[in-house]
Structure 1
Amino acid sequence: MTEIRKLKISGMSCVHCEKTLAKALGKVLGVDSIERVSWENNEAIIRISDGVSQDDLSKQVKKAGYRLEKVSTLSDPGQINENPEFDVVIIGGGSAGFSAAIKAAELGKRAALIESGTIGGTCVNIGCVPSKFIIGEAFSGNSWEKIKADRDKLVAMLQYEKYQNVLESYSGNITYIHETASFINKDSIRLSNGRIITGGKYILTTGSKPQFPEISGISEIDPLDSTGLLFIEELPESLLIVGGRFIALELGQVFSNLGVKVTILQRSSRLIPQYDPIISETIEQIFLSQGIKVITGTKLLSASKKGNKKILRYKVQSEEREVSGDQILFSTGRSGNIESLNLAAAEVKLDSSKHIVTDAFLRTSNPKIFAAGDVLDTPGLVYVAAKEGQTALRNALSKEPHVLDYNAVPEVIFTRPQIARVGVSEKDAVAKNIPVSTTSFSIADTPYGLVNNDKKGVVKLIKNIDSGQLIGAEIIASDAGNMIQSVTIAIKAGMTIEDLIDTYFPYLTAVEGIKLGAIIFGKDVHKLSCCAS
């Protein structure tokens, strides 16, 4: 029979002592596992089989340079974690993790923030910050060498000011640990340095990683993910992009503008298939006019290399074709970054794409463990991750649980023109049996478009017929990112189309198009005066 023993140890003074003692106890015949060693609490908790005596343990502890003062038996396995070192242990130091850690500090709790990579996670280091900077610089005329240097300066500055500095300001409550963490049971984790630590609750914020398609020959071509392309040393002459969603669109246009010949291969019948066809068709026509080749309805067959060229063989309907390029970017989805966590030991369930499964309170199948950010199958947006991190912490440690509302989450694709959406699409509304009415119009028909000669863009609004409320919008326009926020607030506030019409919008601004869209639910856009109301 296995028993759990708590050992009171004297003589430990640092993390290295924990590792030394754990190694020594592991040599005792009959010690099945080391659950926890804490120099701060002067204790070790172990699982043993019948036949292990206190004398056996004492001798081994003494050999390691310490003294066994007392041995007690824990009858309840839950007692292993009755005096955790931290109120909460957060694994993952990106936006969700930092948000959770800061909230813990604000509540006066002891938090451990564990990160195995670079502090700040994906967004500031290899995601939104460098990509959006390069998007802006791609239209500046600057050389790739200058863009790279300025990109690295910006990332370093934000990493220091928004993460390292912030962390230091909460040093009294947040302990930052630069190690890899994995669960050894439902209550404890082991760090890569051998230290075992415990938390009253755990929050997993380890993010996601790119997925590559399983096709023959892919290992031969050194495929790029978005990070590899953003940080590439030299611009290729030609670039193949597999995928047709936001990363593919943003980076495809950027590198085309930098002088690279770009070809996009999309599995679906159109680009960004989650958007309304009118938005997809508009961006595809813009890309074609900019010299970007778009091939839709493709099925990848194989990859190979011939000389310096990388080749993709694919099928469109029944016809097999091939295309070659100097580099190939795969933007074909992401999966949860969970491999090092040993979640099976913690009894945490995953979905088919290796994202962590949670309930509405962001609690996993283990009630002591919560999760937030891109490790979940929720909108993969940095502001969603930050909100989830804060909410998971609040639900884990407070008695006032909160459920997040994902019905009005805006998203923006930073192409030129920008693409944005929020709320329910017409297709989703029909699938949910929501009676809807829609209207769409060209940006060229707005006062803003006429004055600024801005003809590239479309606005589509969706309203619930029964309630009259605005429930969704999709926009492609030069200022779509700012326009969509007005719609987000309107949806959040439950505003009707009449409410929008009764609201003042500044004349000759792009966002005035939202009011124009509300008006033309009942009128012809070409029969309105400049200041229609």
Structure 2
Amino acid sequence: MADRREKVDALIIGFGKGGKTLAPYLAAQGLKVIVVEKSPLMYGGTCINVGCIPTKALAHDAHLLSQRVGLSMEARSEAYAQAVRDKNALVSLLRAKNFDNVNGRPGATVLTGAASFLNPREVRVETEDGEWIVEADRIFINTGARAVLPNLPGIEGSRIYTSTELLEVERLPARLAIVGGGYIGLEFASIYAGFGSEVTVIERGTRFMPREDPDIADEVRKTLEKKGIRFLLNAGVNRIEDGSDASILHVSCPEGESELAADAILIAAGRTANTEGLNLDAAGVARSERGFIQVDERLRTNVPHIWALGDVNGGPQFTYISLDDYRIVRDALFGDGGRSTKDRHYVPYTVFIDPPLSQVGMTETEALRAGHRVKTAALPASASPRARQLRQTEGLMKAVVDADNGRLLGVTLFAAESGEVVNIVSMFMKTGEPYATLRDSIFTHPSMAESLNDLLSAIG
């Protein structure tokens, strides 16, 4: 028999960005809210604990260290260990603030335990102090996603890590192998190369960064290779052997099979929804073939009183998308219901390699495929006085314009501080103004934003 039974207006399963923002809002409307989080180390969700915040903190420290020449490996290892300790302190601070921001609100309670559906309205929560049965009028699933481990001989070896696990390793690996050349893999490659690791990226695809235009992808690869990162394309790992001094990856490629020794192996081969143990079948909640919870444009599942927010619903896996998921649900419950995922236009993203790669809108390839007649311009990052001031002159900036109406179709910025500048471009593109308006805008000097003047002037 359950230790306790509770009836609430809203149950939020998972402490991600969407759920943690929704909980205090609902409580402020007078609703009784319970938030369930499986792990006390995940208050605040993926971004704060194992995603954006810790990785970008390490990326910043790696960039600073990469500017120092002549350091011994011992000094670099100690700098890395200190960076991990600083990252842990930052994460602990933010985790505590996030917990208090929810649990400290009148009407909101956090339960730490594993949740599983008993039926569409009731959820069992197993905590250290006993079992709860929570009945809710509305249920919001916000459990995020996790790394996928491939079915590979040796995958359970002692030197195998997901991105979550590698973030906790305080000893800098001298040799790091990364299985997967997607954005997560590239971010970690850039970080560890900056600290001094010998990094090899193994990618099954035949093209490097196939989502980007070839000129941008070539520039990124050239820059990362200059940092010492090695890329093996059209290559796969057949098996991994766990030796006494190192792990050996048996890698196959068109030239044949080779062996690669590594002190750590990061598996960055994709992510899947965190739904294991939720017993979604008992609730009747439908999932996609990839295992993500299916939702409509207002994030409602096939069960009308159950929603899914954040990475678990299979949308773009960015914390700012999870925040917008909250806005959609808020509008559905207390607004006019007009907001939906269809309103998401010109959403920017940044890959925090060094320098960062940011993009919004269409690439040239995508624009041509969509039938646009285009004009393009490219500008090396070294043309920016600010980039030279920062001593970050690597990179390339590119703009794509519709030749018929002068609208800006997309911008890609592989340059210092691009994660800030791309937000300006995103806001501008939503106005529908011709590119010349942004071209002739006034920006502060010296700044990376003023590079937009020069980039767009090259179009005409």
What TM-score, normalized by structure 2, do the two folds share?
0.90
CA shift in 2, pair 1:451/1:127, >3 Å: closer
Matches within 5 A, 1:157-236: 157-161=93-97, 163-170=98-105, 172-192=106-126, 193-220=130-157, 222-236=159-173
Contact 2:159-2:247 within 8 A present in 1 as well = no
Any idea what SS the aligned residue of 2:250 has? Answer: strand
Greater Cα shift, 253-262 or 342-351? 253-262
The correspondence for 2:15, drawn from 79, 83, 93, is 93
Matches within 5 A, 1:55-454: 85-118=7-40, 119-138=43-62, 139-140=64-65, 143-161=79-97, 163-170=98-105, 172-192=106-126, 193-220=130-157, 222-317=159-254, 319-396=256-333, 400-404=337-341, 405-449=343-387, 454=392
CA shift in 2, pair 1:206/1:491, >3 Å: same
Q: Deviations over 1:395-433 (max 9, x none)?
A: 256552421333222111222211111122222333333
Any idea what SS the aligned residue of 2:217 has? Answer: helix
Q: In structure 2, how many angstroms separate the alpha carbons of the residues matched to 1:111 and 1:436?
A: 51
- For residue 489 of structure 1, report the CA deviation from its aligned partner: 0.8
Q: Deviations over 1:85-111 (max 9, x none)?
A: 222111001212101112212333222
Q: Give the match for residue 412 of structure 2.
A: 474
Q: Give the match for residue 74 of structure 1.
A: none
Q: Deviations over 1:196-224 (max 9, x none)?
A: 21211111100001001222232245521
Q: In structure 1, how many angstroms separate the alpha carbons of the residues matched to 2:390 and 2:172?
A: 34
CA shift in 2, pair 1:455/1:398, >3 Å: closer
Q: In structure 2, how many angstroms separate the alpha carbons of the residues matched to 1:467 and 1:403?
A: 28
Matches within 5 A, 1:9-48: 19=2, 38=5
- For residue 306 of structure 1, report the CA deviation from its aligned partner: 3.2
Contact 1:99-1:390 within 8 A present in 2 as well = no
Any idea what SS the aligned residue of 2:277 has? Answer: helix
**Which residue identity is paired with 1:500?**
L
**Which residue identity is paired with 1:492?**
K
Q: In structure 2, how many angstroms separate the alpha carbons of the residues matched to 1:362 and 1:380?
A: 15
Greater Cα shift, 281-290 or 190-199? 190-199
RMSD: 2.2
Contact 1:270-1:280 within 8 A present in 2 as well = no
Structure 2: stretches of 5+ with no match in the other structure:
66-75
Q: In structure 2, how many angstroms separate the alpha carbons of the residues matched to 1:472 and 1:330?
A: 32
Q: In structure 1, how many angstroms separate the alpha carbons of the residues matched to 2:298 and 2:45?
A: 23
Any idea what SS the aligned residue of 2:15 has? Answer: coil
Q: In structure 2, how many angstroms separate the alpha carbons of the residues matched to 1:320 and 1:135?
A: 33
Structure with more contact order per residue of length (Cα contacts < 8 Å, sep ≥ 6): 2
- For residue 348 of structure 1, report the CA deviation from its aligned partner: 1.2
Contact 2:103-2:110 within 8 A present in 1 as well = no
Q: In structure 1, how many angstroms separate the alpha carbons of the residues matched to 2:327 and 2:24?
A: 8
1:456 aligns with 2:391: no
Q: In structure 2, how many angstroms separate the alpha carbons of the residues matched to 1:169 and 1:452?
A: 42
- For residue 238 of structure 1, report the CA deviation from its aligned partner: 0.9
Contact 1:417-1:476 within 8 A present in 2 as well = yes
- For residue 451 of structure 1, report the CA deviation from its aligned partner: 6.3
Q: Which structure: larger Rg?
A: 1
CA shift in 2, pair 1:280/1:212, >3 Å: same
The correspondence for 1:508, drawn from 434, 442, 446, is 446
- For residue 364 of structure 1, report the CA deviation from its aligned partner: 0.9
Q: Give the match for residue 73 of structure 2.
A: none
Contact 1:370-1:396 within 8 A present in 2 as well = no
Q: In structure 2, how many angstroms separate the alpha carbons of the residues matched to 1:261 and 1:494?
A: 46
Q: In structure 2, how many angstroms separate the alpha carbons of the residues matched to 1:454 and 1:148?
A: 24
Q: In structure 1, how many angstroms separate the alpha carbons of the residues matched to 2:38 and 2:388?
A: 52
Greater Cα shift, 508-517 or 390-399? 390-399
Q: Deviations over 1:234-254 (max 9, x none)?
A: 222211011122222222122
Any idea what SS the aligned residue of 1:462 has? Answer: strand
Q: Give the match for residue 46 of structure 1.
A: none
Q: Give the match for residue 60 of structure 1.
A: none
Any idea what SS the aligned residue of 2:252 has? Answer: strand
Contact 2:17-2:322 within 8 A present in 1 as well = yes
Give the total of aligned pairs.
442
